[in-house]
Amino acid sequence: MTKIKIANLYYDLMNLYGENGNVRALKKFIEREDLKCEIHFLTIGDNIDFDAYDVFYMGMGTEKSEFLVLKDIMKYKSDIEASIKKGKHFLITGNSMELFGSYIINIDKEKIPALDIFPYYSVHNETRIVGSVVFTTNLIPEKIIGFQNRCGVIYGIDKPLFNVINGFGAYSKSKKEGYNYKNFYSTYLLGPLFIRNPYFTNYIIKSIMKQKNKNYKFKMLNNITEIKAYKTYLENFNID
């Protein structure tokens, strides 16, 4: 039986709003496909073998935790770049997406080098951006729903994952959100993203299986509970 191995990176530091719910959701959706799923929880001090996993997930942390993780993850820059080029799946939510940009300007206006894998950069502000959002994406016809609570703003996004249609005041200038290159998917959205967006989660799992087993027939399961909750949310905000 095909097994999908997930590395939950810095699970203890980047789990501010229970973001590990995303990996639990992925596991549940994968197992609904009658596939095996194994999650490894890795953090500072562990040796991360990027050849050993199919999927890498990292979630939201405090600003202090974010910079602790940045110091550690820098040693893996070449491994991460190689894995992204190979098409391995990176699922990055919350402020962890800032780590993959060129640099971060913190609250004190210090310019802190990041992994510099992608050309965008982040600026932290005193005022936080908090609220619900609704996006579209070119990946699937269904809309994306979520919540954000962040002090960072990202500039220079040339390959957005989502397009903003209802940002509740959070996106007054840019209509771009997140980043998508090959199988690297990042977004500020909390939620957890993969519980609230079953159509998007199905898309991700299908993408993973294209690499693991090209002959696998994806079931496109009708996730009744998740889809009902998803549709109810859109109906409450009168969004078609």
pLDDT of residue 220: 63
Q: 132 and 147 in contact (C-beta within 8 Å)?
A: yes
pLDDT of residue 202: 92
pLDDT of residue 48: 96
- List the structure tokens of 157: 């996004």
pLDDT of residue 239: 66
pLDDT of residue 135: 92
pLDDT tens-digit profile of 163-180? Answer: 987 654 445 456 789 999
Q: Which CATH class is domain 3-236?
A: alpha beta
Mean pLDDT by 10 residues, the chain (240 residues): 93 91 92 92 96 97 97 98 97 97 97 98 92 92 92 93 71 76 96 90 93 81 81 79
Distance CA 157, CA 11 (A): 26
Distance CA 96, CA 76 (A): 15
The pTM assigned to this predicted structure is: 0.94
pLDDT of residue 173: 56
pLDDT of residue 172: 47
pLDDT of residue 166: 66
Q: Tell me the domain boundaries of the chain.
A: 3-236
